[in-house]
């Protein structure tokens, strides 16, 4: 009989409490799967007196997570503290340095210090496991790193933030504004009091940076991600998307191009019939384009205590089996430096919603500027409201009206150039809206 695998958990919020319960509940199954007994022996959290609904008796309590990380009483340090620096980073470094395996759900830590931590883990021959850091309960790290090891990957993209997908789903279904849906998401606990990190795309960017490293064999480059959130999306954009055969999702996209690796987070039009367009509410999804399998899509819960704990426990089971794979699929010294591609060079279809003065010749003026920038228009929709049409049947008032264009593949640089020219021409009553289109 091999020895018990002793876990120390730092951070006893929803996820930590779920991990504690799951390790106890699945003890027999985990022992059958791994051949080892797995048990939590020590914990650390800020407030010892708080009732978390789990029995902590018999567990060694540490006030300091760094002390827990170094403790000789544990074999695996489970980091659920959060934050890219501070206690989480110190504790993980301490654990790896002491030759202990680390299992973490901390995407910010990985995104900012992933390569350095992986190097430490590999030097000490221990695992740094992070399935829970991306897409919660979806085993996407495992699928890419292990399930697709025979493939060269050309693109990976996904819905990686449940808060944003919840807000966009409700805006679409009920015609509500971003602000109204955000308020509901906050009331339901799907969004933080300060929602910036989620709704402006930074959370998605962290997760995307991790996937990029795995998929393309490069060092994590979180600063290389171009980030745009969903706060500027208006109900009219969702209506127009629907009419044109699309849905709007906040996607993280990492794509190998001739110029290098694009990493971008932005609201995206996806074809309504695509698998990813069906993903509603707080659910996450990841699609991988790979040379042998073609397209692989995984859909599941991206957050929540139990789903995240599921990923943490899967990592613990892998550690129990005694396997230390290279953290990012290959040893850190073999990871390449990613060649960044500026967003200006991105090429794809664009949805452009202009608010123009309703005057003769405006559409022609817009079309001319687009042609000058070498942009081909796939469709164009100009529509006045019924009210405006009845009060001003000849269109003499010059009231602002929406003019929506869908382009064929164009570069972001050319699109920006055309929009600047249109603005200089004085055709715009408001700043233009621009949403990228992602094809399957």
Catalytic residue ranges = 207
Torsion angle of the four alpha carbons 174, 231, 421, 340, in this order, in degrees rounded to the nearest 10: -120
Nearer to its own copies, 175 or 331 (CB): 331
Nearer to its own copies, 30 or 343 (CB): 30
User: In the complex, what is the shortest distance from the CB of residue 332 to its own copies, in angstroms, rounded to a whole number?
Assistant: 11
Instruction: Based on the shown chain and the rule CB under 8 A, indicate whether residue 426 belongs to the binding site for its own copies.
Output: no
Instruction: Based on the shown chain and the rule CB under 8 A, indicate whether residue 321 belongs to the binding site for its own copies.
Output: yes
Q: Are 130 and 210 in contact (CB under 8 A)?
A: yes
Instruction: Based on the shown chain and the rule CB under 8 A, indicate whether residue 338 belongs to the binding site for its own copies.
Output: no
- Which of 329, 338, 402, 432 binds its own copies (CB under 8 A)? It is 329
Task: Give the span between the Cα atoms of 166 and 187, in whole angstroms.
Answer: 13
Closest by Cα among 432, 159, 403 to 168: 159
Q: Which stretch binds its own copies (CB under 8 A): 81-89, 148-156, 171-179, 412-420?
A: 148-156
Task: Give the span between the Cα atoms of 100 and 403, in whole angstroms.
Answer: 59
User: In the complex, what is the shortest distance from the CB of residue 435 to its own copies, in angstroms, rounded to a whole number?
Assistant: 22
Nearer to its own copies, 172 or 318 (CB): 318
Closest by Cα among 181, 235, 167, 269 to 402: 235
Q: Which stretch binds its own copies (CB under 8 A): 2-10, 21-29, 96-104, 196-204?
A: 21-29
- Which of 30, 94, 110, 352 binds its own copies (CB under 8 A)? It is 30
Phi, psi values for residue 186, rounded to 5°: -70, -40
b/e map 394-428, b = 16+ CB within 10 Å: eeeeebebbbbbbbeebbbebbebbbebbeeeebb
User: In the complex, what is the shortest distance from the CB of residue 187 to its own copies, in angstroms, rounded to a whole number?
Assistant: 22
Instruction: Based on the shown chain and the rule CB under 8 A, indicate whether residue 148 belongs to the binding site for its own copies.
Output: yes
User: In the complex, what is the shortest distance from the CB of residue 94 to its own copies, in angstroms, rounded to a whole number?
Assistant: 26
Instruction: Based on the shown chain and the rule CB under 8 A, indicate whether residue 327 belongs to the binding site for its own copies.
Output: no
Closest by Cα among 161, 22, 26 to 78: 22
Nearer to its own copies, 18 or 433 (CB): 18
- Which of 59, 251, 313, 422 binds its own copies (CB under 8 A)? It is 313
Instruction: Based on the shown chain and the rule CB under 8 A, indicate whether residue 271 belongs to the binding site for its own copies.
Output: no
Q: List contacts with its own copies (CB under 8 A).
A: 18, 22, 26, 29-30, 32-33, 131, 136-139, 142-143, 145-152, 217, 273-275, 278-279, 290-301, 306-307, 309-314, 317-318, 321-323, 325-326, 329-331, 334
């Amino acid at each position: 009989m091999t020895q018990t695998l002793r876990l120390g958990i730092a951070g006893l919020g929803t996820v930590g409490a779920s991990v504690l319960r799951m390790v106890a509940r699945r003890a027999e199954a985990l022992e059958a799967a791994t051949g080892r007994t797995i048990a939590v022996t020590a914990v650390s959290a800020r407030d010892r007196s708080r009732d978390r609904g789990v029995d902590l008796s018999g567990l060694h309590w540490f006030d300091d997570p760094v002390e827990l990380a170094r403790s000789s009483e544990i074999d695996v340090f489970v980091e659920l503290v959060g934050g890219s620096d501070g206690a989480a980073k110190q504790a993980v470094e301490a654990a790896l340095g002491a030759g202990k395996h680390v299992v973490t759900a901390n995407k910010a830590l990985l995104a900012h210090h992933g390569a350095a931590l992986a190097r430490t883990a590999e030097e000490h021959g221990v695992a740094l496991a992070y399935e829970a850091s991306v897409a919660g309960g979806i085993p996407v790290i495992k699928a890419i790193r292990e399930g697709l090891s025979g493939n060269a990957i050309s693109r990976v993209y996904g819905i990686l933030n449940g808060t944003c997908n919840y807000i966009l789903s409700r805006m679409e279904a009920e015609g509500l504004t971003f602000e109204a849906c955000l308020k509901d998401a906050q009331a339901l606990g799907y969004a933080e009091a300060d929602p910036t990190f989620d709704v402006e795309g930074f959370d998605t960017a962290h997760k995307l940076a991790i996937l990029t490293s795995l998929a393309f064999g490069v060092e994590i480059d979180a600063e290389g991600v171009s980030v745009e959130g969903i706060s500027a999306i208006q109900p009219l954009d969702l209506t127009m998307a629907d009419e044109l055969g699309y849905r709007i999702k906040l996607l993280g996209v990492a794509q190998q191009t001739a110029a290098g690796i694009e990493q971008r987070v932005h609201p995206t039009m996806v074809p309504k019939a695509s698998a990813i367009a069906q993903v509603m509410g707080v659910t996450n999804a990841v699609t991988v384009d790979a040379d042998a399998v073609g397209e692989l899509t995984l859909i599941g819960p991206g957050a929540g205590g139990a789903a995240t704990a599921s990923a943490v426990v899967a990592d613990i089971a892998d550690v129990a089996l005694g396997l230390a794979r290279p953290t990012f699929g290959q040893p850190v010294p073999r990871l390449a430096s990613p060649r960044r591609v500026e967003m200006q060079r991105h090429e794809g279809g664009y949805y452009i919603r202009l608010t123009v003065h309703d005057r003769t010749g405006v559409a022609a003026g817009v079309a001319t500027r687009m042609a000058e920038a070498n942009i081909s228009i796939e469709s164009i929709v100009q529509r006045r409201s019924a009210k405006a049409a009845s009060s001003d049947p000849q269109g003499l008032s010059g009231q602002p009206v929406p003019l929506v264009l869908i382009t064929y593949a164009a570069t972001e640089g050319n699109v920006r150039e055309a929009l600047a020219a249109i603005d200089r021409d004085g055709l715009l009553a408001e700043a233009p809206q621009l949403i990228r289109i992602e094809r399957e």
